[in-house]
Each structure stands twice: as C-alpha cells, then as structure tokens.
C-alpha cells in the first residue's frame, strides 16, 4: 500500500516524501482511511509505530480541504500527557504541514506562557497541548476551544496514569459536542475503555500490535543479578557490547542520577532525563543522545514518555517498573521501523513479583540468564521492593499501607517521583 492510495493531498505527499517515508506503517494503513472519512477512531498503538503521522496526516488533510477563514479559530486540538510528547507531536505537525496553508502551535507548562498566548492570539488551526497549561490559558480567557472540529487524545493510558482524567473531562466540556474524536493508547485497561466510551462516537477500532503484547521484533531477556551488582553489570554489558546508544530505565529520579554519575565515572558518557530536570536540560540530554555525544540516556518512565528516538537498538531496564504496562512502553522504544531491538532487564530478588506481573501481562515467559561473577544473591529477600522505594537498601518511610503489588493506588505517588 502506498501513501498515494490513501488519498492524501499532493502537499502532504510532498512532505511525506521529504521525511523519507516510502510506505505507510501498519497503523497508518489502518487509521488514515477512517479518519479521512470523518469517523471516530480508537487506536491501539504505542510510540514507534508511526502513530503520530497516523493521526496528523489525515487531520491536516481534512483541515486544508475545508474553506479557510481569515480569523483562525482552533479547529484541531491534540492533547498529550507530557511536554516532550507535545513538543514532538508539534514538530511532526510542522513538518507535515510545510506545504499547506495551516498554522499550528504548541503549549505546555514549565515555560513562560506569554509567547504561547501571543501565538494563539494571532490565530492558529492546530493546537498541540498538555492539559494543565491548556486549562490555565483557557481559564484566563486566552484561548477558546468552541470551534474545535477534531480532537485527538494521544497516549490516553498515560493521561490516566498521570491523573489527568478530570482535566480531560473539563476540556471536553469546552468543545462543541459535534466533533471528530481520535483516541490513541498503547494499552487498554478497563478505565481506558470507559474513557473511550465517554468520548468516542461509534469508533472504528484499529490496532498496530495486539493489545498488551510486545512487538515481535524485540528480543527480550532477563539477567538475574544481586541488587548491589547491577551497576557493575550494566557497565560491563554496555562496554563489552560496545553499544553506542542505550536507553536505560530506572524507577526513580534519584536512581537515574546516581546511575548516570557512576557510568560517567567509568567513561561511559551518559545523561539523565526526569521530571526534576528543566525543560532545557531535558532537551539538551535528548539532543546529545540523538547526535551520539551521549551514549547512555537514563530515564524514568514518565520523562521517557513520547521520546522520539528512531532505530534505538538497546533498552535496558536497570529496575523493573512496578506498573507492568510500563514495561511494554519501555521496550517499545526499540525494534522500530523494522529494525531488530534488544530489551534487557536486570532483575534482583525483590523484583520477582514485578517480573511475574509483567510476564502475566505480555503472556510471555521471559528467558532468564545469569552472568558469571554477577550472580543473584541467594539470601536476598524476594519481598517486593516498595513502589517509591527505588534506592538500594532504603528503609521505607511508611512501611504500613504499601502492598508493593498495588499498581493503581500508587500512581499519584509515582507521578510525584517522576
């Protein structure tokens, strides 16, 4: 199937060929046609599947086909959970609309709102936004969503994880009832299905990969290891493999910083990316990683959301996530665009429960290996590490009401940590 056969305009085809895409990805093949037909779409797709172009291309096509108004009300709203994802989606919107007479803007928190408000005042057709800043500007009367024709909810599962449900509901109320809705999510929990039911009108359902399963192109492996040997093991793996671009996940910001320091000390250039870092620092770290100056990017789950790193060969879970769905998100960073990727997890005794939860979710028993000299500690407790307790040997502040297994209840806690 070609992009031409999907019925996209010449101006979009030109932008697509400038990007170097030859064929639509599976999610694009499935989603673009129903979107062009004006239908609501519920798509199961994670980062790396080409989902952004999957909704952006038809959205731009529809907007540019309709008569333009001199005064540009916001006609399309793309809502994303994180600043990084917003910036990235916006970059895509800009690229794909290069040859169209459409204006777009991005707004997110953590930066001065004035330039954002000024751009919106000039009139834009497409707005990419995170919920908080959007509501801020709306409350100040600086933007109106009353003319929105197309609403995209990107990474809906993460939106819920981050506690944005109420914000989403408020935003939806401020849009016209009659509009086209597109919802993208990597996973489909009961809550997501409920949200979809409330937003979408007889949606066409499409999926890039089956629900909650991991992409075939990713080879996954678990190294059982003593907790105190993890840092040495990761350094060995990266050095021995001479890996040039590795994304490493830790559960906490503190863990990310600490690991980063230790790797840099052993001569492996690395940078950490997490919620405590300024927008500027995050962008710098990501740019360094993309252009090869930084060999290892150490990230927490929320900070890594939506990072666009093409053809990433290696993802390492320094610690397993306590929320099994996050494992799927994490390893979705590798094996893109037909390339084979490798996802390794360093698992200590206290992460056994997390491992079981993940295997249950993905319905795959992960192959386990042990590297000589880095054996697991036979005496270590298999009691699960408490969510929020990422550091080695750290005593929990409140040992009482944490079961370690509980995922939902710990989301607000995790949000603070990231």
Where on the chain is the footprint of ligand AMP (CB under 6 A)?
21, 24-25, 28, 47-53, 308, 310, 336-337
Please identify, using beta-carbon distances, which residue of 1 and 118 lies nearer to ligand AMP: 1
Nearest approach in angstroms of CB 102 to ligand AMP is: 19
Three-state DSSP class for residue 339: coil
Handedness of CA 355, 407, 190, 318 (dihedral sign): negative
Nearest approach in angstroms of CB 159 to ligand AMP is: 16
Nearest approach in angstroms of CB 72 to ligand AMP is: 25
Would you give the DSSP letter of residue 202? S
Alpha-carbon distance of 19 to 335, in angstroms, equals 20
Nearest approach in angstroms of CB 9 to ligand AMP is: 16
Please identify, using beta-carbon distances, which residue of 4 and 101 lies nearer to ligand AMP: 4
Number of H helices, E strands in the chain: 16, 14
Please identify, using beta-carbon distances, which residue of 277 and 336 lies nearer to ligand AMP: 336
Please identify, using beta-carbon distances, which residue of 47 and 345 lies nearer to ligand AMP: 47
Nearest approach in angstroms of CB 282 to ligand AMP is: 17
Nearest to 297 by CA among 263, 340, 324: 263
Please identify, using beta-carbon distances, which residue of 51 and 386 lies nearer to ligand AMP: 51
Cβ atoms of 11 and 99 closer than 8 Å: yes
Q: What is the DSSP string of 212-273?
A: T---TTEEEEEEE--GGGHHHHHHHHHHHHT-S-EEEE-SSHHHHHHHHHHHHHTT--EEEE
Tokens of 3: 């992009």
Please identify, using beta-carbon distances, which residue of 48 and 335 lies nearer to ligand AMP: 48
Strand partners, 246: 296, 314
Nearest approach in angstroms of CB 24 to ligand AMP is: 5
Alpha-carbon distance of 203 to 205, in angstroms, equals 6
Please identify, using beta-carbon distances, which residue of 49 and 300 lies nearer to ligand AMP: 49
Please identify, using beta-carbon distances, which residue of 86 and 120 lies nearer to ligand AMP: 86
Nearest approach in angstroms of CB 1 to ligand AMP is: 10
Please identify, using beta-carbon distances, which residue of 51 and 258 lies nearer to ligand AMP: 51
Cβ count within 10 A of residue 135? 17
Q: Is 205 exposed, middle or buried (0-12, 13-18, 19+ CB in 10 A)?
A: middle
Cα separation values, 82 from 77, 148, 282, 353, Å: 15, 21, 12, 29
Rg (CA), the chain: 22
Nearest approach in angstroms of CB 48 to ligand AMP is: 5
Cβ atoms of 330 and 214 closer than 8 Å: no
Nearest approach in angstroms of CB 129 to ligand AMP is: 17
Helices 165-173 and 190-199: crossing angle, nearest 10°?
10
Would you give the DSSP letter of residue 384? P
Please identify, using beta-carbon distances, which residue of 266 and 283 lies nearer to ligand AMP: 283
Nearest approach in angstroms of CB 304 to ligand AMP is: 12
Nearest to 186 by CA among 299, 89, 330, 90: 330
Alpha-carbon distance of 272 to 76, in angstroms, equals 34
Alpha-carbon distance of 276 to 250, in angstroms, equals 14
């Amino acid at each position: 199937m070609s992009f031409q056969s999907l019925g996209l305009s010449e101006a979009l085809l030109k932008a697509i060929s400038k990007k170097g895409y030859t064929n639509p990805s599976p999610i694009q093949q499935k989603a673009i046609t129903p979107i062009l037909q004006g239908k609501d779409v519920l798509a199961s797709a994670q980062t790396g599947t080409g989902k952004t172009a999957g909704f952006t291309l038809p959205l731009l096509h529809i907007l540019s086909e309709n008569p333009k108004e001199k005064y540009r009300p916001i006609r399309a709203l793309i809502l994303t959970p994180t600043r990084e994802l917003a910036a990235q989606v916006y970059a895509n919107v800009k690229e794909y609309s290069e040859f169209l007479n459409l204006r777009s803007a991005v707004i997110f928190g953590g930066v001065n709102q004035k330039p954002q408000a000024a751009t919106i005042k000039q009139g834009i057709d497409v707005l990419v936004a995170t919920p908080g800043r959007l509501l801020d500007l709306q409350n100040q009367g600086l933007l109106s969503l009353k003319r929105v024709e197309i609403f995209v909810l990107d990474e809906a599962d993460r939106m819920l994880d981050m506690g944005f449900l109420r914000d989403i509901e408020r935003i939806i109320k401020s849009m016209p009832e009659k509009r086209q809705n597109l919802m993208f999510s990597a996973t489909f929990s009961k809550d997501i299905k409920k949200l979809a039911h409330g937003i979408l009108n007889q949606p066409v359902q499409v999926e890039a990969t089956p629900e909650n399963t991991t992409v075939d192109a990713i080879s996954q492996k678990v190294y059982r290891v003593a907790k105190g040997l993890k840092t040495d093991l990761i350094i060995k793996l990266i050095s021995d493999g001479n890996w040039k671009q590795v994304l490493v996940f830790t559960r906490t910001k503190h863990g990310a910083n600490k690991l980063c320091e230790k790797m840099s000390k052993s001569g492996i250039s690395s940078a950490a990316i997490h919620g405590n870092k300024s927008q500027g620092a995050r962008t710098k770290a990501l740019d360094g990683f993309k252009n090869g100056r930084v060999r290892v990017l150490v990230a927490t789950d929320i900070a890594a959301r939506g990072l666009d790193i093409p053809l990433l060969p290696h993802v390492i879970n320094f610690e397993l996530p306590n929320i099994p769905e996050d494992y799927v998100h994490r390893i979705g960073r590798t094996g893109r665009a037909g390339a084979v990727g490798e996802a390794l997890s360093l698992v200590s005794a206290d992460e056994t429960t997390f491992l079981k939860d993940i295997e249950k979710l993905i319905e795959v028993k992960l192959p386990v290996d042990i590297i000589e000299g880095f054996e697991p500690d036979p005496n270590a407790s298999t009691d699960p590490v408490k969510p929020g307790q990422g550091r080695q040997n750290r005593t929990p502040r409140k040992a009482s009401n944490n079961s370690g297994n509980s995922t939902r209840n710990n989301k607000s806690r995790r949000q603070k940590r990231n």
